[in-house]
Amino acid sequence: MASILLEIIASTVDDCIAAEKGGADRIELCAAIATGGLTPSLGTLIEAKKRVRVGIMAMVRPRAGGFCYSDTDFAAMQRDASLLLEHGADGVVFGILDSDGSVDTRRCGKMIELASARTTVFHRAFDVVPDPMRALDELIEVGFTRVLTSGQQKTAVEGSEPIRKLIDQARGRIEVLPGGGVRAHNVLRLVDTAHCTQVHMTAFSARTDPSTSISPLTFGSVPGSPSSSYEHVDRETVRQMREILDGIGPHEA
């Protein structure tokens, strides 16, 4: 029996620290959150591993826009995965599709082989596959540890019924991690419907960097916020979610 596991998305070392202090059980580390997440820098991973004790899963995604990669994209993914694991990542998060949206099992298998005994997670590329039940069996066969999914809906709450079906089909052969729009106001509904034992979420709030406040130039910011704003994991948001999940009580793992 175990409490529901909480995974928090982070993009900086400070994010990782805030996530752990708030009560996160695990971190997914990635860059460029606005694109859905890209491969983080080695420096970020190395410094985060020095400062937090919870597991850090590192995203391996070379570009935005989809998941069907060129040979050079895939070469970069293999190189990034090797370096991330060598420098302390507890696992890697990736998803590779063929041009028709089906799982590229050959390349995924190569990545899993590269990861050796470390955790491998197929990310939300799963949410665009044409046949999710078949794709789940393919992920199990190729050897993934876990799949991150919103049940092919905009949010995991909307996809909670499909997620429950995936969990039932998995029968413990692969972990199913619901993610996408998970918030304090809807997580109880998600857990109750999907019967999940873990959740994945963002817990960002906007912060302001005053160094560009007097300039008309912009260098990337949170949409709808001042030009000098950036997203940062909010420790209190994580704490509140941790409290809610602990209040649900133990669930079968």
Would you state the pLDDT for residue 250?
Answer: 54
Q: For residue 253, what pLDDT is reported? A: 41
Q: Write down the pLDDT at residue 216.
A: 72
Please determine, for residue 134, whether its predicted confidence score (pLDDT) is greater than 50: yes
Contact (CB, 8 A) for 24 and 7: yes
pTM over 0.85: yes
Residue 252 included in any domain? no
Greater confidence (2 vs 250) lies with 2
* Owner of token pair 């019967």: 195
Q: Whose CA is closest to 185, among 233, 251, 240, 239?
A: 240
Full domain range(s) for residue 77: 8-239
Residue 31 in any domain: the answer is yes
Q: In the chain, what percentage of residues exceed pLDDT 70?
A: 93
Q: What is the CATH number of the domain that holds 207?
A: 3.20.20.380
Distance from the first to the final alpha carbon of the chain: 6
> Looking at this protein, which amino acid is placed at residue 158?
E
* 222 pLDDT more than 70: no
In a domain, 246, yes or no: no
Q: pLDDT band for position 50 (50/70/90)?
A: very high
213: confidence class by pLDDT, cuts 50, 70, 90: confident
Assigned domain for 133 exists: yes
Average pLDDT of the chain is 94
CA distance 11 to 238: 15
- Assigned domain for 15 exists: yes
Q: Is residue 177 part of a domain?
A: yes
Tokens 């040979």, located at residue: 71
CA quadruple 108, 114, 116, 120: dihedral positive or negative? negative
Domain membership of residue 3 (yes or no) is no
- Structural domain includes residue 2: no
Examine the pLDDT at 163 and tell me if it is beyond 60.
yes
Instruction: Please give the tally of structural domains in the chain.
Output: 1
> Which residue is it, tokens 């970020």?
44
Q: What is the DSSP string of 216-249?
A: S------TTS-TTEEEEE-HHHHHHHHHHHHHH-
- Predicted confidence at residue 252, as pLDDT, reads 47
